[in-house]
Structure formats: structure tokens, C-alpha cells
Amino acid sequence: MLRRIIRPARRLPVWLILSVAAPFIFEVILHLWRYNVPRPASELDTPFFTSCQEPDVSAKRENAVLVMLARNHELEKANKTITSIERQFNKWFNYPILFLNDNQWDPRFIEVLNKTSRGLATFEVIPQQTWTFPEGVDVNAAKQNIKEQGERGIPHAGEEGYHHMCRFYSGKFYQLDALKKYKWYWRLEPDVDFNCAITYDPFVQMARHKKLYGYTIALWEVGKSCPGLFRSVADWKEMMGIPTNNLWKSMVSASWVPFPFRRFMSWLPHRDAYGDEWSLCHYWSNFEIADMDFFRTRAYQDLFDYLDKKGGFYFERWGDAAVHSLAIAMLMDPRKVHHFEDFGYRHDHLFQCPANAPGGQLPESQLLGSGTWSPEMDNGIGCRCECDGHTTQNYGGYCLNKLKQPTTIKRPWFTWFL
């Protein structure tokens, strides 16, 4: 009798376990398949050129402007950026440069940058009503929350001005009177190096190839800065009935948890109402070449207004890079997004820089002039790049490969699991 009581329970038959688990396993496989990004039949986003070009100084220009948000104390860093882009690009193409500041400009800043930009610059002050807390926000509560975010160590989240900047670039920027006459913009930041010669007009090529948004670097967002952003964007997407495209799929990491348990995952940060997760991958927006008409559309501005009313620009630290990226993934055909992989670009501690194209440096060009540059290398696509072509980027390639899935046939082995 005692043996019968203490005898361990019989194991469940394997066939019973499998028969119970099979529907859940099948559902997960089906769910993951729905988020699969099919490989295109051919490359849909290749470099516009893969070697130096003779700059066409007489060609018609696009209606475009180079834009930098800077403060008076960033004079040296702003001058560094303009010196670099003048040397590598604008000395041939002569696009206007617009400087923006949330305070009055120091005459010394204007004097130095006017000289560096050869008189092509204008200097505007952002209206106070644009650079402030939106209506309906409890300002005291927002300021206290910003202070607490800083104490938690979230990068830049303790700086009130940084929150204003993220909100500004996410929506109000495109409505500035100083920008209304332009269609295209190239966003610049203080303390940037352009390490390769840019001998063609990227605005002309973007328009010719029907591209709307161009970037250099893609990487992860700081997760604790924006735990509620993806849910808000995904809710708006569902509310507007916007269909899911391949770029949105590439942004998402589909959940492996089976239905109906997957819904419980929606309580976690960075999840939509169905429990699927944003990968945190986004385009690094301190470099952008884009058609501002996309960001001026009613759809985008409605999304911005919706997010603005959520309060996440202040009660979290929603960044403009993440907002832009999720909106582009939701609203833009992936074929209209371009990776400027032939550009050498450095900001802060991150960079990309291609190897120089073999036989494509035009050493005899009078317009390009003489100089020194890194050795040419097989499969290089750069023009007179000054960086080490053996290291083309110093950040992980996960997000770049993930976001390029809709337009490339190249799939590194680890992207099989993205």
C-alpha cells in the first residue's frame, strides 16, 4: 500500500504531449512566417555610383538645403562640419546652408560660419512657441519626470532642451517658415567628418531614382528611453487601417510565444497590442537626406500630433530618429529608402567608410584636384576616402542588415533568424 502511495506518477505518453503541443507549434510557425521578409529577385537599392565622378558643376540643382541645428557654444564643432562638407561636396555644388538655433545668434558664430560657407549660409532663430512644451502637458510634472529620467541614467534624458529637440525634429521642423520654400534637406550636425569625396549631387540622384529618404548608419535605440513609443505607433497604424509592408516587418521581431498567450506579452515595453516586439532598430537621423514633402503629408503630421498628445516626448525620451524610422517603415515603400553606403561619415564615435574603388579615383581630374587618399581595394566603392578601407564600419551590422532585408538579396547567415 505504502509503495503504491509513494510510487512516482507515470509519465505522460509522448504522443499525447505532441498532440497537445502541435497546434501551438504550428501556430507559432505560421505567425513567424507572416513576418518573413521575402528575398527580392534583384538588388533594389544599389549605390548611385561606385567610383569618383567628374562633378557636373553646370547641371540643374534640386530645390534643396543643408540644415544644421547648432548653439553658439558649438562654434568650433559646427565649423568643423561645414569645413568638411565644403571640401568634400559643396565647393562644387553650392547648395544653401541654413543654421537653426533656439536662441539668438552670437555675431561671432555668424561671422565665422559665413566665411567657411562662402556666404551661402543663413541664420534663423526657432520660434519660441515651437521650442517648448505642447499645450495640454503639465509642465511641472514633465520637468520633474525629465529630472528623474536623468537620474536613471538614460542618455540625454535629463536635459530639457534635448526633449524639445527630439519633438522639434519629429514634427515641427518641417513646418518652419524658413524651410517651406525647399523640398529636399540634408541634415548636418556639429562635429561631423565626411571622409570621402562626394562628387555627384545626391539630391538629383534621389529624385532621379524616386527615393524619398537616405541614411548612412542603422543601429539600436536605447530601449529604456522609449518603452511606450512602439505601442503608440502600432496602435495608430491599426487605428488608421494601414497595411503591413515588408519594411515594417523588418522592424519587428515576431514573438515566439503561441496564441493566446502571446497577447500577455503586450504588457511589456516595445510591444504592440498582439505581443510582437520592435527590434529597436532605426536609422540614425543625425544624417538624413530626404524629401520633406513626405514628412509634410497629412498622414505623417497626423501621426506626429497623435504622438505629441501622448506626452512621450517628455514623460519618456522619444527620439526623432526612432519616430522617423517607424513612420518610414509604416508609410513608405521600402524601394524609396536609400543607403548611402558610398559615403564616408563619422559622428560622435560611430562611422562608416567604404574602401576606395579600384581604378576609379580620377587622379588626373582638375576639378577634384590633387591630394592623398587611402589605397584602392577590390570591391571598393568609395571616392578618395581617407579612412582605412579594411574597416568599413565600427558598429554592429545587425540593424543595418535587418532594415535592408526588403531591398537586398544579400542575407548574412545571422539574418536567417531576424
Q: Catalytic site residue 341?
A: no
3-state secondary structure (DSSP) of residue 246 = helix
Angle at 281 between CA 330 and CA 241, to 5 degrees: 20
| Peptide bond before residue 260 is cis, with ω within 30 degrees of 0 | yes
User: Are the C-beta atoms of 196 and 270 separated by less than 8 Å?
Assistant: no
**Nearest Cα to Cα of residue 106 among 67, 79, 138, 134:** 79
Q: Which residues have CB under 8 Å from 31's CB, separation 6+?
A: 254, 255, 258, 259, 262
Residue from 74, 86, 277, 288 carrying the catalytic annotation: 288
Cα 263 to Cα 8, 34, 44, 392, distances in angstroms = 36, 17, 35, 41
CA distance 336 to 338: 7
CA distance 253 to 111: 49
User: Are the C-beta atoms of 226 and 278 separated by less than 8 Å?
Assistant: no
* Main-chain phi, psi angles of 122, to 5 degrees: -125, 155
Active-site residue set: 288
